[in-house]
Chains A and B, each alone.
Chain A
Amino acid sequence: MTAIATIASPINDIADSLGANDLPYAIPVHPNLVHLTIGLFAIGIAFDFAGAFYPLEKRLFRFLALPVTRSGFHDVGWYNLLACSGISFFTVAAGFYEMLLAVPLPGVRSVLGQTAIDTMLWHAIGGVAILLVIVAMTIWRGYQRFVWRKDLGRQVTWLYLLSGAVMLLLMGLHGSLGAWLASDFGVHITADQLLAAGADLNEVLP
């Protein structure tokens, strides 16, 4: 334990080229890519649900005079998930780069009672695991679309939809860990880092 405390963080070697937010640029990239990963995954799964329950919704859409096709819904499910898969590699890559440069505020605990490093480690491992599941589900989704269920109206199995719903719950928890790294631990937030350094925001962030 004492060994770690006496070795200064390697981030200090490049401190000159980093801003007050501990990044070489003002706005972190990872949280912005996360919008795309979560939005595309959630809406992709939602539209596969819409395609699966199409026989129930048919009359409603006819009532609304909105022409709808079942395959159209499943197209959204497929292409959104495909896009999610591609983009999420960059989400995870940016996350790791920015996590390597993270300097969380000391002595803080999240609402789950976790320390900053616990939250970071869970968020890191969880991020890689979620990426793997997203890619695996995309391959699974592709086989259903082009091979196994090619001739069926409902393009996805109930197990696939259940997996998607469970993943969304896990992504909600995972995203909360990420949110706390910012809102509670102050990671890469200029104002929080300046306050921790004892600065007066009225002067340095006018």
Chain B
Amino acid sequence: MFELLPPLNDKNLPWLDVIHPIVVHFVIAMALISVVFDMIGVLTGKKNLFEVSFWNLIVATVAIFIAIIFGQIEAGLANPYGASRDILNIHSTIGWSLAGVLALLTSWRYVARQKNPTALPRPFLALDVALAALVVVQVYLGDKLVWVYGLHTVPVVKVIRDGVLS
């Protein structure tokens, strides 16, 4: 049955490069800029910035589910070793949680916008701060998997295949 699966390259991937880090552009950038535009909107009273942050939040929420799909596939092929196993577990847990958090935030935001698109409920700002913090922590953990442990990089995949590293 395994011969039906596409062959894996020297980064242990069925495709050229990792896709998850590309999809997360749209979660990280849109979630963080949504928070920034909410803040600026409240500080300056520019009401149309709330519309900008609303749409960015929608994009972040859609993108995180795509990010999770590719994240799960590539995590399954990552062969984590040492402490990177724990980091990958926490990264996965926060990733799924973040999908829930983003979906809840977006639905609340949708209801608030239906009532009055030119006002932002103040408690939303507190959740914005929490969202930004959660995203930053998640990015840091993902960064460690790539930049410290080198998962899916050619040299690390090679030593794992040679059985030198486990």
Contacts and interface: CB of A to CB of B under 8 A. Distances in A.
10 contacts: A27-B144, A39-B28, A43-B59, A76-B52, A83-B33, A188-B147, A189-B146, A189-B147, A201-B82, A201-B165
B51 A72 contact: yes
A79 B83 contact: no
B1 interface: no
Interface residues of A, number: 48
A80 to B, nearest CB: 7
A83 B51 contact: no
A182 B153 CA distance: 7
Contacts of B146: 31, 182, 189
Interface string B50-72: 01100110010000000000000
Closest 10 CB pairs of A and B: A39-B29, A191-B150, A39-B25, A72-B51, A35-B28, A192-B155, A189-B150, A27-B143, A190-B148, A183-B153
Contacts of A31: 143, 146-147
Interface string B131-159: 00000000110011011111011111001
Interface residues of B, number: 48
B16 A189 contact: no
Contact of A105 (B26, B117, B147, B155): B155
Given A36-B29, A183-B17, A189 B153 contact: yes
B150 A186 contact: yes
Which residue, B24, B143, B148, has most C-beta atoms of chain A within 10 A? Answer: B148
B26 A42 contact: yes
B63 to A, nearest CB: 9
Contacts of A111: 16
B155 A79 contact: no
A186 B155 contact: yes
Contacts of B140: 27
A196 interface: yes
A201 B159 contact: yes
Contacts of A175: 22
B98 interface: no
B156 A195 contact: yes
Given A36-B28, A186-B155, A72 B147 contact: no
Contacts of A40: 29, 33
A67 B117 contact: yes
Which residue, A39, A42, A72, A175, has most C-beta atoms of chain B within 10 A? Answer: A39
Given A76-B56, A191-B155, 11 more contacts: A40-B29, A43-B56, A67-B114, A71-B48, A179-B21, A189-B153, A191-B149, A191-B156, A192-B150, A192-B154, A192-B155
Contact of A43 (B26, B148, B152): B26
B49 interface: yes
Interface string A23-34: 000111001101
